[in-house]
Amino acid sequence: YQRMLIKSIGLSLLALFWATAAEAAFSCTYYQAMFERLQQEPKAPMAARVAWISQQFLGRPYALFSWGEGAEGRFDQAPLYCFDVVDCETFVTAVLALAHSHSQRDYERNLRIFRYKKGQVDFLTRHHFTVVEWNSALERAGVLKDITPSLGAFKVAEADIDKAAWY
């Protein structure tokens, strides 16, 4: 068992109210349009980029386990990324990776860095546990900042996570 300290991490991005699921899916042309728009606004403030990108997902259907390691994945052959459907984690990851990108190539690189240990795409290296893996990896990368201490009193919880048994 690994002893992992779990603490509350404040993330302002988690406040999204999903519109009812739309039937239409983004097309490849739409993907390209999003990446072109990101290239046009390299100096836009991060908050504005996050707001615009988040809005592009309004109405997208919610689907658990919508992203995987791609067709070549050992365990999870779902697409590496897909803008057609998202869940809570893939929405936040997509928005953050897009906000820090100016091209599709940047996005794919950032997605690998944000979602996988050392950027190595594999089910076993994916940051499955939000607080102890994903948040801390993005903090170390300088993408997120833990603002919990600035919010005043908070509680710390501890849990044993047997990651090998979880798989």
Phi, psi of 111 (to 5 degrees): -60, -45
Q: How large is the average pLDDT for residues 110-128?
A: 90
How far apart are alpha carbons 83 and 61 in whole angstroms?
10
Q: Contact at 8 Å (CB) between 117 and 132?
A: no
Between residues 142 and 33, which one has the greater pLDDT? 142
Max avg pLDDT among 1-5, 85-89, 91-95, 148-152: 91-95
pLDDT for the residue 96: 92
Average pLDDT taken over every residue of the chain:
75
pLDDT for the residue 111: 92
pLDDT category, 3, cuts 50, 70, 90? Answer: very low
Q: What is the pTM of this model?
A: 0.73
How far apart are alpha carbons 105 and 121 in whole angstroms?
15
- Of 98, 109, 112, nearest to 36 (Cα)? 98
Between residues 95 and 134, which one has the greater pLDDT? 95
